[in-house]
Chain A
Amino acid sequence: MSFLEFISQPWPWYVAGPLIGLTVPILLLIGNKSFGISSSLRHICAACLPANISFFHYNWKQEAWNLFFVVGVLIGGFIATRFLANLNPFQLAPATETALRSLGIQDFSGLMPADLFAVSNLFTLKGLFFFVIGGLMVGFGTRWAGGCTSGHAIMGLSNLQWPSLVATISFMAGGFAMTHLVLPFIFKLIN
């Protein structure tokens, strides 16, 4: 197996997790920066549409490193998909596949279900729920919580901050509630 074939396989959790964890000391040591991604959304608001809202009036340029970081994430996503893509079919846990099939998902070939995440769904009920309402909740919720999975679950817990544990438990509770209580209704509406 060549090196390229080797890294083209999906990476197991025990490789990916520690690499993500290393982002914490790397950012601290190269510039005294605390890891956190959702802040970038606030900087974009501050840069593009601060309006009359005091929450968006600060010197976002001093936090520009965060925007460089997310542009890097985007480029990394491009490189991984374009040059190091997994050659084998996507493997999903059979129980999840069964559950999602019963909800109406049919395409299990890619990383994202093509039934939902297609451009043709932009201006449909599917788009309204999965792009617009979902996105609004991610942006509104992370800012209200003061961080997301990176800022709270990874950075905050790494620094033993109990408010971050509260936030992480709330993230998970919200996710379980959506998956098991709300999603079945949404799929009934859109199908």
Chain B
Amino acid sequence: MQQAPLTPDLVPGGSERSDKLSPSIPTTVSALANLKYLIVGLVFGLVFVKAEIISWFRIQEMFRLDSFHMYGVIGSAILVGMASVYLIKRFDLKTMQGETVRIAPKSFTKGQVYGGLIFGLGWALTGACPGPLFAQIGSGYLVIGMTLLSAIAGTWLYGYFRNHLPH
């Protein structure tokens, strides 16, 4: 099997963290350790539904500039995220495991423009970015399972054509 090199723009989410993963954690321990991410995700999904971010209508309001709601949500999320990252760096806060917090820089590729435009087109059509897709299915809109399958297929097609696309 050919191993993909995990360069920054290739690593999932564009972050470089292959260097600090410990490969020898037993599966049961790591499954338990991963439960905390499920709980964070659960709260996140709850907020998505309660603030109606999963609504196709709210996304339409945003792109028609008819409501401040989505801009307020995304804008205040960014401000809180920015302040948090600043404080973590400023006071050199450690992780629960005692590690130094590391955030990989994002490197520029043309994909951020081309891919970004394509995602934007799809966002307004489906009314969902990847996060809300999962929350919509959980909310009982089972037909969104088809959208999720298509999004997985789209990701796969990107992998297939990757070497022929400008980056």
Which positions in A face B, CB cutoff 8 Å? Answer: 7, 10-45, 49, 51, 53-59, 61-66, 68-81, 84, 86, 90, 92-93, 95-96, 99-100, 108, 111-113, 116-119, 121-122, 127, 129-164, 166-180, 182-183, 186
Q: Establish whether residues B126 and A72, one from each chain, have CB atoms under 8 Å apart when the complex forms.
A: no
Q: Contact at B139–A62, with CB atoms within 8 Å? A: no
Chain A, Cβ-Cβ closest to B41: A72
A173-B66 contact, Cβ under 8 Å, with A117-B143, A157-B81, A179-B124: no
On whether A182 and B162 interact (CB within 8 A), knowing A74-B134, A75-B38, A96-B57, the answer reads no
Q: Number of residues in B with C-beta < 8 Å to the partner?
A: 135
Q: Is the CB of A154 within 8 A of B78?
A: yes
- State the CA gap A70–B157 with chains docked (Å): 21
- Do B131 and A141 have beta carbons less than 8 Å apart? no
The smallest beta-carbon distance between A79 and chain B, in angstroms, is 6
Instruction: Give 9 closest A-B pairs by Cβ, nearest first.
Output: A174-B120, A72-B41, A76-B45, A139-B154, A144-B115, A135-B150, A170-B116, A21-B80, A77-B138
Q: In the complex, which residues of chain B have a beta carbon less than 8 angstroms from the beta carbon of A174?
A: 116-124
Tell me whether B154 and A141 are in contact (CB under 8 A). Answer: yes
Q: For the A-B complex with A53-B159, A77-B54, A96-B66 known, give 10 more contacts whose Cβ atoms are closer than 8 Å.
A: A23-B81, A27-B37, A73-B44, A76-B42, A100-B60, A122-B146, A135-B154, A139-B154, A145-B112, A163-B112
* Contact, CB under 8 Å: A25 / B85: yes
Within 8 A of A (CB), among B14-48: 14-15, 17-18, 20-21, 23, 30-31, 33-48
Per DSSP, are chain A's interface residues mostly helix, strand or loop, or mixed? helix
Knowing A148-B119, A148-B131, say if A157 contacts B78 (CB, 8 Å): yes
Shortest distance between the CB of B86 and any CB in chain A (Å): 9
**Which chain A positions have C-beta within 8 A of B149?**
135
Once the chains bind, are A133 and B125 in contact (CB under 8 Å)?
yes
Q: In whole Å, how far is B3's beta carbon from the nearest beta carbon of chain A?
A: 6
Structural contact, B120 and A130, CB atoms closer than 8 A = no
**Cβ contact within 8 Å between A21 and B78:** yes
Contact of B95 among A29, A40, A99, A186 (CB under 8 A): A29
Which one, A26, A58, A127, A137, contacts B122 given CB within 8 A?
A137
Contact assessment for B129 and A31 in the assembled complex, using a CB-CB cutoff below 8 Å? no
Q: Are A25 and B23 in contact (CB under 8 A)?
A: no
By the criterion CB–CB under 8 Å, are A93 and B66 in contact?
A: yes
CA separation between A140 and B82, bound complex, in Å?
A: 28
Q: Which residues of B contact A186 (CB under 8 A)?
A: 125
